[in-house]
A and B are shown apart, each in its own frame.
Chain A
Amino acid sequence: MNIFRQKQKKYIFLFIFIFLLFLACFIIYGIQTGHNSKASYFSHTETREALGTVVTITLFSTEENPLTEKQLTDITNDLFNEADRLEHIFSARLNDSELSLLNSSAFISPVQVSEELFNLFDIALNYCSLSEGAFDISIGRLISLWNIGSDQPYVPSSDEISSYLNQEGWKKISLDTESKTISYEDNSISVDLGGIAKGYIGDRLKDMAENKGITCGLLSLGGNIVTIGERYTKEDWTIGITNPASPDSIIGSLKVSHMSVVTSGDYERYFVENGVKYHHILDPYTGYPSKSGISATTIIGPSSAVCDALSTACFVLGTDRGMLLIESLEDYEAVFIDSSGSIYTSSGISKYNFTANINTD
């Protein structure tokens, strides 16, 4: 009798032990998967062709700011619609955009424009001036002459270039703050906002998302990165910088929150004719694709529009003058990569923890 009881006890202990073992395994498993899955946050991502490029919007519902899947989907839709609306204001390629209408009549008399167009002109002209014309929105005629990034790019003759060249053309554009009107001095001016509009639209989409209650998100407007808030893990977002020598790999990465990261590179839009590569960033002083020796410029700062304009300006200015411009601006930092692969960084880049990828392939 006694022996039987002891045996029974032993088996009970054994079963409890095995049961606990299983329980422990599943608890460990649960903790591990719960940590990085839907327990505390989830996201909605959508990629669409928009703004003449590809736009990806990722919005998060977080522990502090829980939102429903439907709310995220609806806000994503609203953002894409807003991007389309703004494109119909700023695009020089769309014949019925507000900008195209302005281009066809602002040399005759001042034209009253929408608040968005006026604001963007205001910011753009400020950076035309700060960059001493390295960023110049008035070279629309040169841009459409080359037509880089379209179906039919074209290498103009030097005669054509000189007749289309309009150095410091931005000085011929006047804004009237009172009446919100824009006028051009003569019909040699045609404005193209391609070097800043994507950035500005990024800022507007971020504002709109925040107004609709988003506190965490990541936008990519054709490679212009806009971060909303901190990463869902309450850390910084990690943003890679494309290696211009091999655009399917990254040359380094940055840690940012609330900031925008914009890159201009000679690998983005280009065409090759008779063995010569023509990239899309034109030097407003020569009329040809810029030969400053830079392959890519990345700018980090609070305004995506400013980052966009500065990345173009620095690309044209080259490493030395470009870095001087960045150092003169408090809120903006830069990473430049020249054609030999050397990396240049501005003095304040350490706050974004820039780390170069040594093992790029």
Chain B
Amino acid sequence: MKNKRNAIIITALIILLFAVSVCAIYLIKKNAGNDIYAAIYQNNRLVKTIDLTKVQESYSFTVTGDNGCYNVIEVRNGSIGITESSCPDGLCQDMGFISDSLIPIVCLPNHIVINLTDETGSDNIDGISY
């Protein structure tokens, strides 16, 4: 009788430990690989980095430069984009929001580059020709 009870306890313990270690491994992996950082450069100088995975609520801020030029940058959970710009062509706004490291957002007239780095890599694509 006692043996049987012990066996049940031991089996339950093993299953519990197994489940806990699988969960732990899953969580460690999830946290290690999925951070996406946005780096914002102005005149090739890094002005700001943002961890896009930690953004809870969307927000905007403005980067100003020489001669009154400005870019309004909107940050969302997992993506970033330029929503308003003083540049004449507006190509930076046309690029929309980016969520991977393949193509940076660029505003050449205002010398702004927004570049994402993600450690997991996206869709197994190494580069994009454009």
Contact = CB atoms under 8 A, between A and B. Distances in A.
B129 A223 contact: yes
B44 A48 contact: yes
A156 to B, nearest CB: 18
A151 B95 contact: no
Contacts of B18: 21, 25
A198 interface: no
Contact of B14 (A21, A149, A248, A265): A21
Interface in B1-60: 6, 10, 13-14, 17-18, 21-22, 25, 28-29, 32, 41, 43-44
Interface in A197-230: 218, 220, 223-225, 227
B129 A247 contact: no
Main secondary structure, interface of A, reads strand
Nearest to B18: A21
Q: Which of A21, A49, A298 has most chain B Cβ within 10 Å?
A: A49
Interface stretch (A64-72, A103-111, A165-173, A234-242): A234-242
A238 B28 CA distance: 29
A70 B116 CA distance: 22
A239 B41 CA distance: 25
Given A14-B10, A223-B130, A250 B125 contact: yes
A271 B89 contact: yes
Contact of A21 (B17, B98, B126, B127): B17
B103 A225 contact: no
Contacts of B43: 49
Contacts of A265: 130
Interface stretch (A51-59, A134-142, A281-289): A51-59
Nearest to A80: B44
Contact of B109 (A151, A218, A239): A151
Given A49-B41, A261-B129, A248 B96 contact: yes
A263 interface: yes
Contact of A53 (B17, B95, B98, B108): B108
Interface of B: 6, 10, 13-14, 17-18, 21-22, 25, 28-29, 32, 41, 43-44, 88-89, 91, 94-96, 98, 102-104, 106, 108-109, 111, 113, 115, 117, 124-130
Interface of A: 10, 14, 17-18, 21-22, 25, 29, 32-33, 45, 47-49, 52-54, 56, 149, 151-153, 218, 220, 223-225, 227, 231, 237-242, 247-248, 250, 253, 261-263, 265, 267-269, 271, 298
